[in-house]
Structure 1
């Protein structure tokens, strides 16, 4: 686990729920639970500040860090997908993005591709990406931020092709590969969940710090699916979709660990003594 990636998990899972701002000493203590040194954490924080994810506020001799508007938006998007805060029924519409970005702006083009991949778009053809979710406004915002509005076109359309929608999906996403990744997640965490469930049934204690470590690692690993799983509607998923079982396991294991994990976080968490 890399400190910067873990910081995203800590902010997304805990800090955003308790005011959004935290003392740097609390961060180093929390990440120290995963064997990360204070220096490594501070370096990661500095990088996130320079990349525009975090902002600092100094009070006396203490520094407090919160997510920037850009960072908050990313965390909200991640939470919506992790906890399946998506429309229950698909309206059959596709969001289609095309772009023609000059070679001299290749760096911007690469960044746009990363953003589209993060949001769950799949590449149908060179410079043509599709998603079954309404992401028009989000793409507009990204295009404006990168100053490429004149290079990007956005459409919302029905699919009228010869293939059925599932075959269209197969052209854009490797669902077999995603299924295998979910199977690996279940293989790793099912035994841990069963053991903890038995401990609870036997009334055997588990420390809050252990709950914090286990729950944070669980969320951290599950968050990786944001980069490979486009969160397709049920109508577009194959009958045998391991993601459903993985989601059920995640939620059950999360529920057992959450109370103790939150207690430990709050015992370490220190926010600024005042607000701007």
Structure 2
């Protein structure tokens, strides 16, 4: 489990609902539950600060970390997509991004590709990415954040003259592979669900175990954000495994959420100069906020 990716999961699941800032000692303790060493946490933090994903504040001899606007956008977009309810019908529009970067900006181009893939876009040629989802605001924000206005153009079109809708989907995404990966997720977490149910019935689920299980399933489910474009249901294949995977994710999440938040609160330490008013109901059940 990569420390940086796990950190994004913890910020999105918990920290953002508790003022968005955390003492590094608390973060180290939380990451320790997943076998991540203190040195690995500090190394990941340093790299994230250098990449403008985290901010640091010093108070006395303690350091407190929060996400930057760039990192916050990544967290917010991830949370929205993990917990949103997919649309049933497509609005008929393709969002099309084209770009052209000089060779000296190759690293920036690669970063933009990662961002687009994360957002759910599919690449249909080397410099052309498309999505059937209404992502205009997110893409414009990305363009402005990376200051690439002179290199990228966003279009919206209701028709593709040369190709069918299905051929565009086949060119940009491999939904069969995604479905098979959902099946693996379902097989693994179906057994986990039965195990947790049994422990819940015998009152043997600890807060710590619930924190670990909630964080793990969110962390694993988040990986599909790089693979599943989150299509409206009328563009998906019949018997799409993602629907069953989502129901399983929801069931486990709801079972362990309250004890998981209790464990987080037992470790979390905010900065002494900051009055934190937890949004506990959202930390427990982000599903209450539905994006359609």
Matching residue of 1:168: 168
| Structure with larger RCO (C-alpha < 8 A, sep 6+) | 2
Give the Cα separation in 2 of the matches to 1:39 and 1:105. Answer: 32
Aligned-partner SS, 2:55:
strand
Q: How does 1:19-30 map to 2 (within 5 A)?
A: 19-30=19-30
1:185 equivalenced with 2:173 (yes/no): no
More divergent stretch after superposition (73-82 vs 120-129): 120-129
Give ranges in structure 2 of 5+ residues lacking alignment: 276-292
Q: CA deviation at 1:162?
A: 6.2
Give the Cα separation in 1 of the matches to 2:161 and 2:244. Answer: 32
Give ranges in structure 1 of 5+ residues lacking alignment: none
> Do the aligned partners of 1:166 and 1:237 also contact (CA within 8 Å) in 2?
no
Matching residue of 2:68: 68
More divergent stretch after superposition (85-94 vs 97-106): 85-94
1:247 equivalenced with 2:246 (yes/no): yes
Aligned-partner SS, 1:10:
helix
Q: CA deviation at 1:114?
A: 1.6
Q: How does 1:212-223 map to 2 (within 5 A)?
A: 212-223=211-222
Q: CA deviation at 1:103?
A: 2.6
Q: How does 1:231-246 map to 2 (within 5 A)?
A: 231-246=230-245
> Do the aligned partners of 1:80 and 1:86 also contact (CA within 8 Å) in 2?
no
Aligned-partner SS, 2:155:
strand
What TM-score, normalized by structure 1, do the two folds share? Answer: 0.94
Give the Cα separation in 2 of the matches to 1:95 and 1:153. Answer: 11
More divergent stretch after superposition (136-145 vs 234-243): 136-145
Matching residue of 2:117: 117
1:137 equivalenced with 2:137 (yes/no): yes
Q: CA deviation at 1:168?
A: 2.2
More divergent stretch after superposition (186-195 vs 86-95): 86-95
> Do the aligned partners of 1:140 and 1:149 also contact (CA within 8 Å) in 2?
no
Q: CA deviation at 1:196?
A: 1.3
Matching residue of 1:41: 41
Q: How many residues were matched structurally?
A: 275
> Do the aligned partners of 2:70 and 2:145 also contact (CA within 8 Å) in 1?
no
Aligned-partner SS, 1:210:
helix
Q: How does 1:144-155 map to 2 (within 5 A)?
A: 144-155=144-155
Aligned-partner SS, 1:219:
helix
Give the Cα separation in 2 of the matches to 1:199 and 1:139. Answer: 44
More divergent stretch after superposition (249-258 vs 59-68): 59-68
- In the TM superposition, what whole-angstrom CA distance separates every residue of 1:61-111 from its partner, at most 9, and x where no partner exists? 211111111111111100110012555543111101112222332222222
- In the TM superposition, what whole-angstrom CA distance separates every residue of 1:216-260 from its partner, at most 9, and x where no partner exists? 111111111111111111011001210000000000011111111
> Do the aligned partners of 1:124 and 1:172 also contact (CA within 8 Å) in 2?
yes
More divergent stretch after superposition (141-150 vs 166-175): 141-150
Aligned-partner SS, 2:154:
strand
Give the Cα separation in 2 of the matches to 1:269 and 1:123. Answer: 41
